[in-house]
Amino acid sequence: MTEYDVRLDGVSKFFGDVTAVEDVSFEVEQGKFLTLLGPSGCGKTTTLRMIAGFETPSEGDVYLRDQRINDLQPFERDTSMVFQSYALFPHMTVGENIAFGLQMQGIPGERTAADGGSVATQSSGLSGAFKRLVSRHGSEEIDTRVQRVLELVELPEMADRQISELSGGQQQRIALARALVTEPTVLLLDEPLGALDLKLRKNMQVELKNLQEELGITFVYVTHDQEEALTMSDEIAVMNEGRLEQLGTATEIYEEPASEFVADFIGETNLVHGTYAEDDDGASITDGSLTFRVKPHDEASGDIAFAIRPEKIRLGDDARGLDNEFSAEVIDEIYKGNLGKFVVKLENGRQLTVDLQLTDQGDYLSIGRDIRIGWDASNAVTLVR
């Protein structure tokens, strides 16, 4: 049986009249990397904060393993968060920052084997609680675990440094170390790479993914960067305006978008609206004078759209014999790195973006030229939403 570390069941969050999250349900399998992806204001961070306990759901339930945790305080939940701003304590050294979580959970001594596996690791007992208000104890156990996690993030010599002495990238790693040292059931990451420069961000994406696989901890990751999501995630939950648009693997999301929003948000795409019809050969969408062969969809009818990726459109001789074959006029040219991008206009006035590798076809295309374009019906995804 599959075990789920996190489960959201019909969760909504209202702030006054504003709906931040609306009826969101998903499950994260143990040891998986789930990314909540969406534009700013789509509710992804609010969703993450409800798992962490900083917000309480207005409706629905949040489960950690099998426990309903709606009413648990953040300090009673076995989740750790890596904040966008890192939120490292400026008045503590690196080592003290990392040790803090262990000290507050009453390690060592108070955590017994019996509750070692439970969701709530907050140690109870009045004397322990009082002690933690008077002083924060160090111990060999804590030192060992701090050192171990520092080595994990490849900053083994940093324990005695002040936070202000660290670079942005180092702070990011220390924030990660501090969240990991308590060995949480789920690690929550709120755009943790947002403040890093592009190169460092790329490196960290790979490292984070490797770390996650190595530790086998469930990650719930929030980002607005689709490339980051596609690179790192086992599963992606695309959110928009508080709702969950689609949940699936990177390939599913990219190849089989479930809605116009997903098709448009992930990568680049051409959306074509028209009237849907089914026949013996499959399905088609008619836009004015042109009829496009598309992939059939069970729920499709009436005025809907299909999506065709620019790289799925073939040109010239390559286009011959495909399900869709049209003549078009090149009207614009966009360069983007090694990729040539062109805008073409179909007979009915519809404009499409197409990709080609410059290496292949050099100056094959120029503005004003008439060319043939085409694509397979299986690449034209019918969108019912």
Partner 1 sequence: MSVSKLKVWRSRLMANHGKKALAAQTGFVYLFLYVPIAVMIALSFNDSRTAIVWNGFTTQWYEALFSGEAIARVDPNQAWIALQNSLIIAVVTVVVSVLFGTMLALALDRYVFTGRNLLQGVVYMPLIIPSIVMGISLLLFFNIVGLEQGIGTAIIGHIAFDISYVTVIVLARLQSFNRTLEEAAMDLGASELETFRWVTMPLIKPGIIAGALLGFAMSFDDFVVTFFIIGNQNTLPIFFFGMVRQGISPGVNVIATLILVGTLIIIALAQKIQGITW
Per CB under 8 A, residues contacting partner 1 are 52-54, 73-75, 79-81, 83, 85, 87-91, 100-101, 104-105, 121-122, 129, 132-133, 136, 178-179, 182
Nearer to partner 1, 122 or 226 (CB): 122
Q: Which residue has the tokens 């460092």?
A: 200
Cα 173 vs. chain centroid, distance in angstroms?
20
Minimal distance, residue 176 CB to partner 1, in Å: 13
Other C-beta atoms lying within 10 Å of the C-beta of residue 236: 29
Query: Which residues make beta-bridge pairs with 155?
Result: none
Nearer to partner 1, 174 or 196 (CB): 174
Intra-chain end-to-end CA distance of the chain, in Å: 33
Nearer to partner 1, 133 or 198 (CB): 133
Q: Which of 311, 374, 375, 363 is nearest to 333 (CA)?
A: 363
Minimal distance, residue 77 CB to partner 1, in Å: 8
Nearer to partner 1, 71 or 279 (CB): 71
Nearer to partner 1, 87 or 358 (CB): 87
Nearer to partner 1, 182 or 324 (CB): 182
Cα 121 vs. chain centroid, distance in angstroms?
28
Is 121:182 a contact under the CB 8 Å cutoff? yes
Minimal distance, residue 182 CB to partner 1, in Å: 7
Minimal distance, residue 186 CB to partner 1, in Å: 12
Is 190:82 a contact under the CB 8 Å cutoff? yes
Minimal distance, residue 121 CB to partner 1, in Å: 7
SS3 271: strand
Minimal distance, residue 192 CB to partner 1, in Å: 13
